[in-house]
């Protein structure tokens, strides 16, 4: 391994932080904060691009690992590394960061310094969550990611920012209390926060089953709120309608789903199997419930929020179906959702910027006035509802077909119904906003179609959805490398036999 391979992950973590410090130090003049933020986020993206080209697919497991002691007692280590699961998520976060900066270029007029400092800290925290292999380090970044988000929602909220920020923070902060107790319990028993060590110890049955069940539940609860899974979604719609566009697209969905895959299923395969039927049921309810609510929303931010509940529940369905194809499809769907939702947020941000309202019925007949916006919006919508040859299709197909074959036909049929509803509300949104007679609002303002900068952001995303739709083989091999199915409770004997395919750095 070259030196760059040893320090690449640390660089990815430090560059946004350094950018934040630079933004804080330089004066807020002549868009200087914007430029610094753009350059650092571009630099980070270039750094993340290094990863897929140097990840050794044949070897698998965690790579680019750095493991240094940070605090002696308790033994917290700076332990980072990536595998097939986190690789593309890191890349996705890297891609969305510069796009987020450009999307905020004109949207953020005041207090640019504060905005970009917090935005870049948020980046570091997100990368930290994806990269950490030490539970305390992970928990640290997980919590840290809340703060910039909450402050920025309060600062730039459209209507009632502070209230939405408080809701967001409490909803995600309180469940992390049991999570911390659970982590501390694991530590009190083993003296280690290390992911691979704990994974091995749990697989070898070092813990009493009763408490371990509660520990797994505490993990699951914290992640389920963050996703959000059906009854815990109360914070999402307010956050989506109040958060600055850049943050909403950066944050949506990824952290909770990744954490489920890595730390719930990864650490507690047996308990995850036991919880799976409930989660599948909740996921299907979430799919239908989110879709139904999306159908009746009058505000497009809220519509997108409930659409997200529906889509993220579909991913949960794929994850807890415990089929190889379903899990791969779920990870693929996270990536696709990140790109498509990002593009959609940008487009809605453009509309909000031009017309200063998010009420759907204020719009109408925009296609004639803003043709380029309409084209891209329709393309993104089609990708979102899972039209074949666009990115949404691959993940949806993999998840639904694996659920049909491997889990339960009934759930698969119900989930497919949600997908159909998804097409309904998205196309209806397009119809109400872009077609039909021109509304007073639309005709009263001069047409102001997408600018060059906005096109430069949106077209690459549109092309990316197309490439992801026709050539999933670019991504899937690496993703499959990161999929480790937990053993079946009934068929396999001692749990660790099937688990030996997972990396066990702690034992080597």
Partner 1 sequence: MNPVPDIFRILPEVILTLTGVLVMLIDASLPSGFPRRNLGWVAAVGTTLALWASLFQLSLPQGTGFYGTVETSAFTIFFHVLICGIVLVALLLSLDTLPEDSHHQGEYYALVVFGAVGMCLLTGAVELLVVFIALEISSIATYVLAAYRKETARGPEAAIKYFLLGSFATAFLLYGVALIFGATGTTQIYQIAHAAPTALNHSLLVAGMALMLVGILFKVSAAPFHVWTPDVYEGSPSPVVALMSTAPKAAAFAVLLRVVYEMFPTLRSTWSPLLWIVAVLSMTVGNLAALRQQNVKRMLAYSSIAHAGYLLAAFAGLGSSGIAAASFYTAAYAAMNVGIFAVITVVGGYHEATPMIDDYRGLLYRSPLLGGVLIFFLVSLVGIPFTGGFFGKFYSFSAAVGGHAIWLAIIGLLNSGLAAAYYLRLALATAQRPDETSAKSSAPAPQVGVAVGAALLLAVAATLVLGIVPNEVLRAAESGAHTLQAPPPQNENGIVIERLPAAESDLTHP
Binding site for partner 1 (CB under 8 A): 71-74, 110-111, 113-114, 136, 139-141, 143-144, 146-147, 150-151, 154-155, 161-162, 165-166, 169-170, 173-174, 176-178, 180-181, 184-185, 187-188
If the CB atoms of residues 112 and 311 are measured against partner 1, the closer one turns out to be 112
Nearest-approach distance from CB 305 to partner 1, in angstroms = 21
Residues near 384 by beta carbon (within 8 Å), at least 6 away in sequence:
307, 311, 340, 341, 344, 392, 422, 426
Quickly tell me which residue has 């666009």 as its tokens: 390
Q: How far is the CB of 76 from partner 1 (least distance, A)?
A: 9
Q: What is the rounded CA–CA span in Å between residue 175 and residue 305?
A: 21
Minimum CB–partner distance for residue 236 and partner 1 (Å) = 18
Contact 77, 194 (CB under 8 A): yes
Q: Which is nearer to partner 1, 162 or 205 (CB)?
A: 162
Nearer to partner 1 among residue 151 and residue 384 (C-beta) = 151
DSSP classification of residue 437 = S
Tokens 């049929």 -> residue = 413
How far is Cα 125 from Cα 216, in angstroms, rounded to an integer?
Answer: 24
Distance of closest approach, residue 58 Cβ to partner 1, in angstroms = 36
Write down the least CB distance from residue 492 to partner 1, Å. 31
Q: For partner 1, which is the closer residue by CB, 151 or 450? A: 151
Whichever of 207 and 425 has its CB closer to partner 1, that residue is 207
Nearest to 312 by CA among 418, 177, 213: 418
* Comparison of 169 and 322: residue with beta carbon closer to partner 1: 169
Q: C-beta of 174: minimal distance to partner 1 in Å? A: 3
Choose between 164 and 385: whose C-beta lies nearer to partner 1.
Answer: 164
Q: Return the closest-CA partner of residue 130 out of 219, 315, 263.
A: 263
Residue 171 to residues 129, 220, 239, 250: CA-CA distances in angstroms? Answer: 18, 14, 11, 19
Token digits for 12? Answer: 């990815």
Structure token digits, residue 51:
């990863």
> 359 phi and psi, to 5 degrees?
-75, 125
Q: Rounded to an integer, what distance in angstroms lies between the CA atom of residue 58 and that of residue 188?
A: 36
Instruction: Please name the residue that has the structure tokens 């928990």.
Output: 139
Provide the minimum distance between the beta carbon of 70 and partner 1 in the complex, in angstroms, as a whole number.
8
């Amino acid at each position: 391994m070259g030196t760059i391979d040893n320090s690449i992950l640390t660089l990815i973590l430090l560059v946004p932080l350094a950018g934040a410090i630079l933004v804080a130090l330089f004066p807020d003049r002549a868009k200087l904060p914007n430029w610094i933020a753009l350059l650092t986020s571009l630099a980070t993206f270039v750094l993340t691009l290094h990863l897929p080209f140097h990840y050794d697919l044949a070897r698998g497991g965690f790579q680019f690992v750095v493991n240094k002691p940070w605090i002696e007692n308790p033994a917290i280590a700076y332990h980072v590394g990536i595998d097939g699961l986190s690789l593309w998520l890191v890349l996705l976060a890297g891609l969305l960061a510069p796009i987020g900066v450009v999307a905020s270029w004109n949207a953020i007029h005041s207090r640019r310094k504060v905005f970009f400092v917090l935005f870049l800290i948020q980046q570091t925290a997100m990368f930290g969550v994806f990269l950490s292999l030490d539970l305390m380090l992970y928990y640290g970044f997980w919590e840290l990611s809340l703060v910039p988000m909450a402050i920025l929602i309060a600062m730039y909220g459209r209507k009632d920012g502070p209230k939405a920020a408080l809701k967001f923070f409490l909803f995600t902060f309180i469940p992390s209390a049991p999570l911390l107790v659970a982590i501390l319990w694991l530590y009190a028993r083993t003296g280690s926060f290390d992911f691979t060590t704990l994974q091995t110890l749990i697989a070898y049955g070092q813990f009493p089953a009763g408490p371990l069940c509660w520990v797994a539940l505490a993990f699951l609860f914290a992640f389920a709120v963050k996703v959000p899974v059906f009854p815990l979604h109360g914070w999402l719609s307010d956050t989506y309608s109040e958060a600055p566009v850049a943050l909403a697209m950066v944050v949506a969905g990824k952290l909770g789903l990744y954490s489920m895959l890595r730390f719930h299923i990864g650490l507690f395969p047996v308990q995850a199997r036991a919880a799976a039927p409930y989660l599948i049921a909740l996921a299907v309810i979430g799919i239908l419930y989110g879709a139904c609510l999306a159908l009746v929303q009058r505000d497009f931010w809220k519509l997108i929020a409930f659409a997200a509940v529906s889509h993220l529940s579909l991913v949960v369905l794929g994850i807890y179906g415990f089929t190889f194809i379903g899990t791969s499809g779920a990870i693929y769907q996270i990536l696709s959702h990140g790109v498509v939702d990002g593009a959609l947020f940008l487009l809605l941000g453009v509309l909000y910027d031009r017309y200063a309202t998010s009420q759907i019925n204020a719009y109408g007949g925009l296609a004639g006035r803003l043709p380029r916006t309409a084209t891209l919006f329709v393309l993104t919508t089609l990708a979102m509802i899972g039209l074949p040859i666009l990115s949404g299709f691959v993940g949806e197909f993999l998840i639904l077909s694996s659920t049909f074959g491997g889990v339960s036909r009934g759930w698969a049929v119900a989930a497919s119904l949600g997908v159909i509803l998804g097409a309904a509300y998205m196309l209806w949104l397009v119809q109400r906003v872009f077609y039909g007679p021109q509304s007073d609002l639309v005709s009263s303002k001069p047409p102001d179609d997408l600018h060059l900068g906005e096109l430069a952001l949106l077209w690459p995303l549109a092309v990316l959805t197309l490439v992801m739709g026709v050539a999933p083989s670019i991504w899937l091999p690496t993703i499959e490398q990161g999929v480790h199915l937990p053993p079946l409770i009934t068929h396999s004997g001692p749990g660790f036999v099937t688990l030996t395919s997972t990396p066990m750095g702690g034992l080597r």
